[in-house]
Structure 1
Amino acid sequence: MPRRPAEPLPLAPDEAPKRAHGAGATTQQIVDTITTAIVERRLMPGTKLAEQAVADLFGVSRTLVREALNRLSRDRLVTLEPARGAFVARPSVDEARQVFEARRLLETGMVRELCASARAEDLEALRAHLHAEADAVLRHDVAGRTRLLGHFHVLLAQRLDNAVLAELLADLLSRCSLIALMYQSADAAGHSQDEHVLIVDAIDRRDAEAASRLMAEHLGNVVGNLQRHPRVGDLADVLRPAA
């Protein structure tokens, strides 16, 4: 299934500096580069994104930086604080638990519905997605695996042909995306991918009880893997172009 247009597409680590630096970056390139740094855990919660510092690093005006920060704020990746400036968002673990509980209520019912209605083409799409996930985990592609592991849940809703459910779930995912992007270790990502395989296997067997139980356990495991005390990195070291 095609990726939702609203989802950010992070740049590869070696591509971001080439596009975002040099003759001056566009607003979208600044957004992409900062998003990539967050995805790859090089920009951590609480890091200050001073407008002038970012403008100097990208060779652009503060106006373009302000536009980029506003976009990132709408995606809940950046927090804008009056008189203090912009910071990489620092969502609380309690907020994450509430969001995951809402997802549990939605997604356990969603997989039950899929057990009753999934067609051959639905299962084929899910298997193809699982293959892409496994490949990203194996290659230690942090940005790719994070995007794919999150999109798996939206894909389930899309295979139900329920656009409203898919949109609602995508919004819930965005609320916990920063936590998943920044706190998920390689081991946790591998476990998540294994759990996705088990969920699809249960859907394939039309085993609604197992699919619902596995989804609840999966979301519970993701919450259990959250780290409480991430580090804060240096902005210039993260965003300056490679030598």
Structure 2
Amino acid sequence: MVRTSKAAQTSQSKAIEKPTEEFIYTELYNTICERQLLPKTKLGEAMLAEHYGVSRTIIRQVLQRLAGDRLVKLEPNRGAFVAHLTLKEAQQIYEAWRLVEAAIIREVVKTITPEQIASLRKLITAERKACDAEDYPLLTRLSMQFHTQLANLCSNQFLSRFLKELIPQTALAYFYEVKKMPVCMKDEHGEILDLIESGDEEAAVAAAKRHLDGIEAALNAQASLDQQASLVDKLKLRVPSLS
């Protein structure tokens, strides 16, 4: 009788292991935040269940969680859709972002350590590499991460939590393809960090405001959208072996 070694059995088990709810949630969360899925895109339970090789119950739980994050809208008798914002709602989000981040920066200027500055500089370096490589999904994720990592340095947990909940909502405010998104050529995050490191509180706040003003101004930009691609094509995801 042929026996399979324990190592081979473990390898086979990993190869057929299905993605967990957390894995699928993270993939969809990131895909929406990276703006690879347009607002109002339908998230069909059956299609997603087939795509990931899991039950519709797991997909339903994932969609409920994303709805709790306000990234997905659940409509009775219609299903789940990527949420969307009106231009006015988007402008209100950026107004709130400017106010909260200004308060965070004023505190962080007084408390930031060399180690924290080094960590943020490493993130900015990765962001510039993504920009040079025209990897717009990664660039979008790293750009958001800069602001959330800055928020993490704030000792006021309510300011920090509010900003980290607010930032992902901006992914629902863009009305053009990822590849046509405007990308700041200046290293604006680097400028903000330089001013924080120098201790110039007001200049750092002003630089952050200019940065967000520029992003908000792009909300008025319109570009043709690729409505023909299927949801699976838009996801551009593969379910890897969870080894």
Q: Give the TM-score taking structure 2 as reference length.
A: 0.75
Could you tell me which residue of structure 2 aligns to residue 27 of structure 1? 21
Give the Å deviation of 1:23: 6.7
Give the Å deviation of 1:40: 5.0
Alignment of 1:151-162 (within 5 A): 151-162=145-156
Could you tell me which residue of structure 2 aligns to residue 55 of structure 1? 49
SS at match of 1:225: helix
1:234 aligns with 2:230: yes
Identity of aligned residues (%): 36
Within 2, Cα distance between the matches of 1:53 and 1:136? 31
CA 1:46–1:59: 2 relative to 1, 3 Å? same
Give the Å deviation of 1:102: 0.8
1:67 aligns with 2:61: yes
Could you tell me which residue of structure 1 aligns to residue 4 of structure 2? none
Provide the aligned C-alpha RMSD in A: 3.1
Within 1, Cα distance between the matches of 2:39 and 2:191? 32
SS at match of 1:107: helix
Bigger Rg, which one: 2
Q: Which amino acid aligns with 2:80?
A: A
Within 1, Cα distance between the matches of 2:57 and 2:44? 12
Within 2, Cα distance between the matches of 1:114 and 1:36? 27
CA 1:40–1:168: 2 relative to 1, 3 Å? closer
Could you tell me which residue of structure 2 aligns to residue 125 of structure 1? 119
CA 1:186–1:112: 2 relative to 1, 3 Å? farther
Within 1, Cα distance between the matches of 2:180 and 2:61? 33
Within 2, Cα distance between the matches of 1:237 and 1:157? 34
Within 1, Cα distance between the matches of 2:231 and 2:115? 45
Within 2, Cα distance between the matches of 1:148 and 1:118? 20
1:94 aligns with 2:94: no
CA 1:56–1:175: 2 relative to 1, 3 Å? same
Within 2, Cα distance between the matches of 1:220 and 1:178? 17
Within 2, Cα distance between the matches of 1:240 and 1:134? 23
Give the Å deviation of 1:185: 5.3
Q: Runs of 5+ in structure 1 lacking a partner?
A: 1-20
Within 2, Cα distance between the matches of 1:160 and 1:23? 40
Alignment of 1:193-232 (within 5 A): 194-226=187-219, 227=221, 230-232=225-227
Within 1, Cα distance between the matches of 2:71 and 2:176? 11
SS at match of 1:65: helix
CA 1:51–1:217: 2 relative to 1, 3 Å? same
Give the Å deviation of 1:86: 0.7
Instruction: Compare 193-202 and 21-30 and name the one that shifted more.
Output: 21-30
Within 1, Cα distance between the matches of 2:43 and 2:174? 21
Number of corresponding residues: 221
Could you tell me which residue of structure 1 aligns to residue 9 of structure 2? none
CA 1:111–1:186: 2 relative to 1, 3 Å? farther
1:168 aligns with 2:162: yes
Give the Å deviation of 1:87: 0.9
Q: Runs of 5+ in structure 2 lacking a partner?
A: 1-14, 239-243
Q: Give the TM-score taking structure 1 as reference length.
A: 0.75
